[in-house]
Structure 1
Amino acid sequence: MEDTPWSRPTMDDLKHVLESFGKSDTVNIRDVDRLELSVPAEVKTARGNTISAMTREISRQGLGLLHKGMLNPGEVNVKLASETREFEYRVQIMWCTPCENGMFISGGEFVTKPEN
């Protein structure tokens, strides 16, 4: 597969970025527990652009993503796929920040599950 600025991050990319954060001594003060989840995802922006991504974590209220290219805060559609099913959610991207190797991490809250 050709490596473009918008190609999906690999599992190695995800591992490298997560390892670069290191272990923190700070206490997790999040309201909702998050589970690590590394699956392919597609983000469709309000302008109609599709960005390939990998999930980093998920909770009942939202999810974290790793991708190439900046995502602006706002509502997007996020597709996640398993071997047997595909899931699509409306997500309000709350933040996006650059990290290593031209990658970005972002986080968002679930808005609703879109109607098919």
Structure 2
Amino acid sequence: MSNDPGARPSMDDLRSVLESINQSDANHERSAERLQLSVPAEVTTLRGNTISTMTREISRFGIGLLHKGQINPGEVTVRMASETRQFEYRVLIEWCRPCDGGMFISGGRFLARRDAE
């Protein structure tokens, strides 16, 4: 794991954290199915700070992230890119908590979606 707090978590970091939090079988009363999604992303806070992240999961209503450093609850912009398009989402980060290896996991709900060319 890189010691650079601004570096994006690696796939090994993501795998390690997901194994350590051990997905439970508990009913979380979620209204939409969540899909595991592990792609690089960037989070930009309202203050303009940019944080490199990896996505953990996504649903119609929200997204889970893995990153180095804490993200305070509140509105952020999440950017993800495919080979042909860039996707930009407004997300309300609702929680953030530390996990193994100095990493943090967070989750938020989509406020609106903006697509950029």
> Which TM-score band (shorter chain)?
over 0.9
Q: How many aligned positions are there?
A: 115
Q: Provide the TM-score with structure 1 as the length reference.
A: 0.92
Residue in 1 that maps onto 2:75? 75
* Aligned mates of 1:102, 1:89 — CA distance in 2: 26
Cα root mean square deviation, aligned: 1.5
TM-superposed CA distance for 1:27, in Å, is 2.9
Q: Which residue of 1 aligns with 2:51?
A: 51
Give the Å deviation of 1:22: 1.9
- What per-residue deviation string (whole Å, max 9, x for no partner) do you get for residues 27-61 of structure 1? 34211110000000000001000000000000000
Rounded Cα–Cα distance in structure 2 between residues aligned with 1:115 and 1:58 = 17
Runs (4+) of structure 1 exceeding 4 A deviation are none
Identity, in percent, stands at 63
In the TM superposition, residue 83 of structure 1 has moved relative to its aligned partner by 1.8
State the TM-score, normalized to the length of structure 2.
Answer: 0.91
State the 1:21 CA deviation: 1.6
Equivalent-residue separation in structure 2 for 1:64 and 1:52 (angstroms): 14
Deviations 1:47-103 (A, max 9, x none): 000000000000000100000000001100000111221100000000000001110
